[in-house]
Structure 1
Amino acid sequence: MTQIDRPFRCRRHRSPGPASRAAAVASALVIGLAGCSEGSGAPHHGPGTKRPAAKAGPVWRTAPGSIAALGDSITVGFDACTVLSDCPEVSWATGTDPKVDSLARRLVKNPAKHSWNYARTGALMSELPDQIAAAAVHKPELVTVLIGANDACRSDVRAMTPAKAFRAGFERSMEKLRRALPRTQVYVAAVPDLLRLWSEGRKNPLGKQVWKLGICGSMLRNPDDLTWSAERRREKVRHRVMAYNQALAQVCRKDALCRFDASVFDYRFTGRQLSTWDWFHPGMRGQRELAELAFRTITRADSRT
């Protein structure tokens, strides 16, 4: 074994005299090669040395133990049971009615104690941070978000929330959620296709009469008007909804514990899934379909968004 191969023990050396300078230089070289001089850098990993294992990222759990629901009138079951009233018992997210079979009923062992609904009828994206603050108190393992229809359903297209403001609002909301709930999973549903809502709901004469009361004027005003200007107006609303969904998907994709569900926009619902009170909100059948779509996304084994 040569001197370099032989184990070396670092020790103090007295300053060498003139006769020992050559030996001192050689000794310094050996010390440098052995890597045990004072202030040496990171330890050397030889061929047989195991490197520290990389930390695994957060893992999506397909069976969360508690749920907090955020959003607007869809999530509180507005007009699903009685006219002009919230009906949270049939909510797709936290409802207790077995006919809907909500997410809470499917996923949570004790929904009455471990699910909370902070959605509000008429809520806009700008109100989502306040809902997050209320839900964070419970430290839910899953938060569901379905919001944005009211940002597009205004009296006129000019009153719709700009796409940039909508994106900025969701970014702020996710930042607030992560500060308060760093390990909570987030399910984000796409804003439903309002143009399909118009095309299906207008088939019902009573529904069109109800729409005259001022429901979603940007899309549903004058439902039988098929002129170029009316069709152009409806397309603007649809494009704005698509821009909202793009923002939701892109922001969600940056978060390892967030899943965006595009199927809520793509779902080919009919009048059978709409409320018979306003032909706008989901009825009980619609709520059940929303619960099924969300369940599929949340319990999917992979993390595609």
Structure 2
Amino acid sequence: MRKQRRRRSRALVGIVAAATALGVAGCDVVGGSSGSADGGRTRASRAVQLWDRSPASIAAVGDSITRGFDACTVLSDCPEVSWATGTSEQVESLAVRLLGRARAADRSWNYAQTGARMADLSGQLADAVVRRPELVTVMVGSNDACRSSVRAMTSVANFRSQFEEALGTLRKALPKTQVYVASVPNLKRLWSEGRTNPLGKQIWKLGICPSMLGDADDLTSAATLRRDRVQQRVEDYNKVLAEVCAKDRRCRFDGGAVYQYRFGTEQLSHWDWFHPSTDGQSKLAAIAYRTVTAEGPVD
């Protein structure tokens, strides 16, 4: 009888242990309780594991900012000072910071195009995937707001669908490639800073961002309303970038860091007082590096 009781006792202990193990396994399957601190740490750990903070190759897509437009000579690209892939010692680009100068020259590629809008991103990414980069940097949206008029700006709905399509193009070819997305700069601040320079305002008349920079000294209510509408569209674009990126486990948005950066005259091109100077490119590189190497996503 004692042996039978001992056997029953051991069996009961085994059943309880098995039930406990199944209960724990069940929590893992569904991700744990939404209010569980342990569950939160587990999800955060998985998110960190998905992100490689030291990718071995980089491709850049986007617009004139990533091409280093007007940073070296007037109305010309200067990719050697690009914040993303440039080799200039004055900038210390994201590629140089992550890969080292020698490897950056061989393992980074710049597919950005001056004048590009969000609608052009899918094509750039289609070209970039041939290199099979481990990280793609995206900075685009300024030209969607910088149009001939407020009415001509890319709609928020189209901006969203075009960005989703572009990321889809990348994911079909390279499901594990990481994406860094920079926010659209604060165009109204660039107008505010640049309009203090007479030469810059003359260059603006050649057609640089007329929706924001046109009639630069006009401070009437109509002109102010026009600039405010452009600014609101930029903020809407940044919301789209954040939301779409958040749905992709291997995408990091800069949390609005580029938009919030207060470009001063030293960070603006002394050719057009609107695009980033070499110093401005260096600041963009630093923002990107902080985001890419952070332990977790930037809020």
Stretches of structure 2 lacking an aligned partner (at least 5 in a row):
9-16, 32-45
- Give, in angstroms, the shift of residue 293 of structure 1: 0.7
Name which of 207, 213, 217 aligns with 1:220. Answer: 213
For 1:113-132, list aligned pairs within 5 A.
Answer: 113-132=106-125
Give the Cα separation in 1 of the matches to 2:105 and 2:265: 31
Q: Check conservation: 1:60, 1:303, Cα contact below 8 A.
A: no
Aligned equivalent of 2:278: 284
Aligned equivalent of 2:157: 164
The TM-score, its normalising length taken from structure 2, stands at 0.84
1:208 matches 2:208: no
Give the Cα separation in 2 of the matches to 1:302 and 1:120: 30
The TM-score, its normalising length taken from structure 1, stands at 0.83
Question: Per-residue displacement from partner, 1:242-264 (whole Å, max 9, x unpaired)?
Answer: 01000000000111111111100
Aligned residues: 266
Q: Check conservation: 1:274, 1:282, Cα contact below 8 A.
A: yes
For 1:71-220, list aligned pairs within 5 A.
Answer: 71-109=62-100, 110-220=103-213
Task: List structure 1 segments (4+ residues) > 3 angstroms apart after TM superposition.
Answer: 47-58
Q: Check conservation: 2:58, 2:133, Cα contact below 8 A.
A: yes
Question: Per-residue displacement from partner, 1:151-179 (whole Å, max 9, x unpaired)?
Answer: 10011111110111001100111111111
Structure of higher CA gyration radius: 1
Aligned equivalent of 1:247: 240
If each structure's helix is expressed as a fraction of its own residues, which one has the higher value? 2
Aligned equivalent of 1:293: 287
- SS at the partner of 1:186? strand
Over the aligned positions, Cα root-mean-square deviation in angstroms equals 2.0
1:264 matches 2:255: no
Question: Per-residue displacement from partner, 1:159-216 (whole Å, max 9, x unpaired)?
Answer: 1101110011001111111111111110000000000011000011111111111211
- Give, in angstroms, the shift of residue 138 of structure 1: 1.1
Q: Check conservation: 2:201, 2:216, Cα contact below 8 A.
A: yes
Name which of 50, 53, 66 aligns with 1:62. Answer: 53
- Give, in angstroms, the shift of residue 92 of structure 1: 0.2
- Give, in angstroms, the shift of residue 48 of structure 1: 6.7
Q: Check conservation: 2:58, 2:134, Cα contact below 8 A.
A: yes
